[in-house]
């Protein structure tokens, strides 16, 4: 294919920019609750994110990558002109990457999934034809944007209410926290293990039966339980601390839990959102390597997932602090117990979606979960001005991605044809 190498180099460069944007905007979401609730410093959050985002992207990123790449547009219309799909995917990556850069600069937590979906739909509808877009698929993705924050908000609300009933409203909350928090840690371990086993290990050649998967997941949960219990037992009650804030000592126990949920969220996020950066990149690589054949089945090369993971970590380190501030402190005041409820709910929702292959937005899920925790304390606990700005930035994301993608598509077409 003419210009094949140029296309692959451009795809890697644009894919890296997109992954950088995901790190700067989306990973900041995943870590925002931990930093906002003061359970982690920003430095600790970046180290945890770097390890678990890479692991999630590399081990469990395979499943969702398919949805973005294949189902969105009807590739059979492009059999004669594969270069149009290459231009389109390059345009989509660059457009979405630029939009994420702008949003991160302003500290808006926008959806990377929206950005890339909007960009792909934009170039396909204008550059190829309205029929090229699989509108049914787009509709189901749009549905998931509404369902995910509502589901996450509901789960977060229920988890936080359980925390209030079992621990915060008890006559001796510190003792109750020491008893119940390890059980919450068990569930965090269980969920992460399940998503890894069912989704992630397919392309590593490890084939376990369903029963074996559950057995391993329970074992991982129990190990997490034991580690958590060990650290929690070391926490000594400090009567001075409770003088200003009645639950200061209880929140110390939850801070241990936030360490686990932060790892869980970073892993779940890496597995779900690496697709946004590497899906279009993989499509370009596949077309070039198969001499323009679009339908050719292609295995996602490991280096592509790795490139996505590295880009994500770089973006978080260099630019993530702005969105972390919005999510962590802007929406509602978070403590470790509230942050935990939001993060676990979001991770659970992402895991459920990853299992069904729905490209949900981690951002919407997490913001929905934080709203759920806020509502459990009453509407007054929410900063409605920040929430309004966030919702507006969500609405702008789709058309912004689409318009930029269309412009870049025609520029690339003019240069290379």
Instruction: Check: CB of residue 82 under 8 Å from CB of residue 292.
Output: yes
Residues 6 or more apart whose CB falls under 8 angstroms from that of 17 comprise 93, 94, 97, 98, 101, 311
Cα(346)–Cα(366) distance, integer angstroms = 5
Among residues 16, 36, 51, 68, which one has the least CA distance to residue 272?
Answer: 68
Looking at residue 282, its pLDDT comes to: 76
Residues 6 or more apart whose CB falls under 8 angstroms from that of 135 comprise none
Task: Look at the chain and report how many structural domains it folds into.
Answer: 1
Domain boundaries, position 137: 4-416
* Strand, coil or helix: 298: coil
Looking at residue 385, its pLDDT comes to: 85
Looking at residue 397, its pLDDT comes to: 87
Cβ atoms within 10 Å of 6's Cβ, excluding its own: 12
**What average pLDDT values come out for the chain (417 residues) when binned by 10 residues?**
81 89 81 82 83 77 54 70 83 91 87 84 84 79 80 90 86 84 86 68 63 86 89 77 68 79 77 74 77 62 77 83 79 83 83 70 84 82 84 86 92 87
Helices 42-60 and 248-289 pack at an angle, to 10 degrees, of 40
């Amino acid at each position: 294919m003419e210009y094949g190498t140029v296309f692959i180099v451009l795809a890697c460069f644009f894919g890296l920019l997109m992954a950088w944007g995901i790190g700067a905007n989306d990973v900041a979401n995943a870590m925002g609750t931990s930093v906002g609730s003061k359970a982690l410093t920003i430095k600790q959050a970046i180290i945890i994110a770097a390890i678990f985002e890479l692991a999630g992207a590399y081990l469990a990123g395979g499943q969702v990558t398919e949805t973005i790449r294949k189902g969105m547009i009807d590739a059979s219309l492009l059999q004669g002109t594969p270069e149009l799909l290459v231009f389109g995917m390059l345009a989509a990556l660059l457009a979405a990457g630029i939009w994420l850069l702008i949003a991160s600069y302003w500290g808006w937590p926008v959806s990377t999934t929206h950005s890339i979906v909007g960009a792909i739909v934009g170039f396909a509808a204008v550059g190829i034809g309205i029929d090229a877009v699989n509108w049914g698929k787009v509709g189901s993705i749009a549905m998931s944007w509404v369902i995910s924050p509502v589901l996450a908000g509901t789960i977060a609300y229920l988890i936080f209410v359980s925390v209030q009933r079992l621990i915060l409203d008890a006559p001796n909350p510190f003792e109750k926290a020491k008893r119940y928090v390890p059980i919450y840690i068990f569930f965090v371990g269980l969920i992460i293990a399940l998503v890894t086993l069912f989704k992630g290990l397919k392309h590593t050649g490890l084939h376990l039966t369903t029963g074996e998967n559950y057995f391993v997941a329970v074992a991982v949960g129990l190990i997490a339980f034991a580690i958590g219990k060990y650290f929690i037992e070391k926490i000594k009650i400090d009567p001075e601390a409770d003088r200003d804030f009645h639950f200061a000592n209880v929140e110390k126990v939850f801070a241990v839990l936030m360490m686990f949920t932060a790892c869980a969220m970073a892993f779940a996020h890496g597995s779900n959102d690496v697709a946004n950066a590497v899906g279009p990149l993989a499509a370009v690589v596949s077309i070039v390597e198969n001499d323009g054949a679009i339908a050719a089945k292609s295995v996602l090369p490991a280096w592509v997932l790795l490139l996505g993971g590295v880009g994500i970590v770089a973006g978080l380190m260099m630019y993530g602090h702005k969105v972390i501030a919005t999510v962590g402190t802007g929406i509602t005041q978070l403590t470790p117990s509230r942050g935990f409820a939001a993060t676990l709910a979001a991770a659970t929702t992402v895991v459920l979606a990853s299992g069904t292959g729905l490209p949900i937005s981690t951002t919407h899920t997490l913001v929905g979960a934080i709203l759920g925790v806020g509502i459990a304390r009453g509407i007054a606990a929410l900063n409605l001005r920040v929430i309004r700005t966030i919702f507006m930035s969500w609405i702008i994301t789709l058309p912004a991605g689409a318009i930029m993608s269309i412009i870049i598509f025609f520029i690339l077409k003019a240069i290379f044809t």
